[in-house]
Amino acid sequence: MKQGHPILYFDGVCNLCNAAVQWVIKRDQQEQFRFASLQSEAGRSMLMSRFPEKSKIPESVLLEIDGMLYAKSSAAIKLLQMLGGVYKLSVIAWVVPRFIRDAVYDFIARNRYKWYGKRDNCMLPTPELKSRFLD
């Protein structure tokens, strides 16, 4: 992948994930982030190249920055830091051991459909946002 905009890969049928993407879009004043659902062509292509063994595909939001892939709580913290402003305070979350951060993340991920619901299809970006979504 060429270096450029950070890409946030997300579960396109998850209502919580879609709400999180909308939250990021509203706060990304510099329009630095690009987005791709894991179900999209771009998402599937990234997963196949990074995780050739399907059993190792993380059930997580993934953040790709200059070829580096962050998952689970690390992706969330890195994204918050990149938003800047008050969100830079998320840097303190790095002191919490990853196994604890990811355990909380995994608990929410396991229950996200039950708590927030699931869509039949991935969200379609508005014409104004279309350029920020990959395929």
Q: How many CB atoms lie within 10 A of CB 119?
A: 13
Give the pLDDT confidence score for residue 120 in this predicted structure: 75
Give the pLDDT confidence score for residue 1 in this predicted structure: 39
Give the pLDDT confidence score for residue 4 in this predicted structure: 87
List the single range of 38-42, 47-51, 61-65, 105-109 with lowest mean pLDDT.
47-51
Residue 65 lies in a domain: yes
Tallying the residues shown for the chain, one arrives at: 135
Domain boundaries, position 121: 7-132
* Residue 103: pLDDT over 90: yes
Count of the separate structural domains present in the chain: 1
Mean pLDDT of the chain: 89
Residue 98 lies in a domain: yes
Quote the strand ranges of the chain, DSSP E: 7-10, 34-37, 62-65, 68-71
